[in-house]
Structure 1
């Protein structure tokens, strides 16, 4: 069957009307999620984005539990929550647990639920994780798997333990993963980090579908560079070429990242990005993922289609330009005969 030009035009107009109508409906009639009075648990909550998010949720009237390994930092974080208390009935707690296993995560959940009559949190924000950049050739099996554990493992097992408790207790809550813009693209230096962040997206995509059976919502955020103590630590070991590629990236403070994550959760967005460049990478990599604003995503996708190949070529040129220096590095390390 041959479709005539008028029929093609009519089909295009119909599709555009559907997209615009859907976008307007989402903007005007979607009910926003309100954290007030809800118990929110944040892993990686002792500093950086996790702590900023905890403080923001406390300001919105939520009950907040922060979980991390470092007890002194947790105690200091708890003081920060108390300073923004909105209601004397708000419950703020800090728990020192390692959450990169189901056992540790389940123990943290149990402890966090005790002040709430054993009920598990209604919202889980997964901010735990770390980056240790380096060249792939420098890795061992142990260091590579350690990187996966610091990224995917730091969030997946808490999500698993929480899912089981939410289902068991009938809690129709939220699970919010924090991936990275390096879960949408990557470049030299992030071989132990980006794979786990891509995997977090894959897990979130799967759980978004599966957990609909239980009324549990899933979100995944893709922040870019965060100006936090973690960034200072990773820059100490980051390859020179990676630092060079990133030299024009000014980064964002944890408070801005936290505000972007919460804004996306409140609006019900599945993929959450916080700035223009994040929106471009998200829109071009979205595939079949739900889009909160299809009209804007068409624009972002078009910009990405045109601009991102030039960006990638510039990154590749910098990597190739580093080849001679890297060869000397490999000689020093004994990788070359």
Structure 2
């Protein structure tokens, strides 16, 4: 167990959703540098072309296949069409690994939502990844091929707080899906991984902060965050090590170990340390979060009145 060979992406076909920006693009660049064949999928063709240019700039060999495909992935038909297109240059063979990075967050107060925005929150998180996993699993099994499916949840798939009522449910759902598939896919030789990144400094974060409640911004002001490149390196390292739950920093490790339940552990010894630390420290951290929320009450009452959400 101490000398297990790490997974090597060199020469393998890696399929990345959400590959035109943020974490998906950083991961695509990293895998290209490591000699992988890379297919990126997203909706926006202009951003896809710029992303493909970035991959070409770090190409390692003339034989690497670097491709970009414009598809909507939130329904099975679109996900199936995208995967089929990506498989064709490889003789119809399934990708060796799928990295499901698609998704976004639109924070806000729950009482400002309606049914449409709640459903949109799930579309932007759970449904941005589940159809791709479904069509890939069917293709792997029908072709008797093995591979990897890597989901991207969030540290907000371990806990949640004010502002994320439309985002966290989908990220929790992705974890639930990954937990079920990690068990089921032992039957097919398909490896399942799920990453739980914290704040990522990307264009998506800029969109978030435009609509994020002030109290949420206040709670997060001490969050160091990480660049997409740092997260991509941590994600790939976890996949190479064979980790099921992938976290790449101290805080992520504490939340992972403290909320793992019966999930497979990365390292029993270090997880005992992280879970013990979480048992002691996380209640104090949560108390400070709740105190920040309560202190926001007077300002929030003014906000509600200004929005016409309370009776005067």
Please indicate the TM-score interval, normalised by the length of the shorter structure. over 0.9
Aligned mates of 2:299, 2:82 — CA distance in 1: 47
Aligned mates of 1:274, 1:224 — CA distance in 2: 9
Which of 100, 123, 126 in structure 1 is aligned with 2:74?
100
* Other-structure match for 2:296: 322
For residues 308-333 of structure 1, give each alpha carbon's deviation from its aligned partner in whole angstroms, at most 9, with x where no partner exists. Answer: 00000000000011111111212222
Q: Aligned pairs, how many?
A: 311
For residues 135-170 of structure 1, give each alpha carbon's deviation from its aligned partner in whole angstroms, at most 9, with x where no partner exists. Answer: 000000000110011000000111111111111111
Matched, 1:119 2:93: yes
Which structure 2 residue ranges, 5 or more long, are not aligned?
Answer: none
TM-score, normalised relative to structure 2? 0.99
Q: Secondary structure at the match of 2:127?
A: helix
Aligned mates of 1:250, 1:295 — CA distance in 2: 27
CA RMSD of aligned residues (A): 0.7
Q: Secondary structure at the match of 2:129?
A: helix
Which structure 1 residue ranges, 5 or more long, are not aligned?
Answer: 1-24
Aligned mates of 2:260, 2:272 — CA distance in 1: 11
Matches within 5 A, 1:189-268: 189-268=163-242
Aligned mates of 1:275, 1:168 — CA distance in 2: 38
TM-score, normalised relative to structure 1? 0.91
Aligned mates of 2:146, 2:88 — CA distance in 1: 19
* Other-structure match for 1:12: none
* Other-structure match for 2:120: 146
Matches within 5 A, 1:177-192: 177-192=151-166
Matches within 5 A, 1:22-171: 25=1, 28-171=2-145
Could you say which structure has the higher helix fraction?
1
Aligned mates of 1:316, 1:84 — CA distance in 2: 46
Ranges of 4+ aligned residues in structure 1 off by more than 6 Å: none
Residue 227 of structure 1 and its aligned partner are, at CA, apart by 0.3
From the CA coordinates, give the structure whose radius of gyration is larger.
Answer: 1
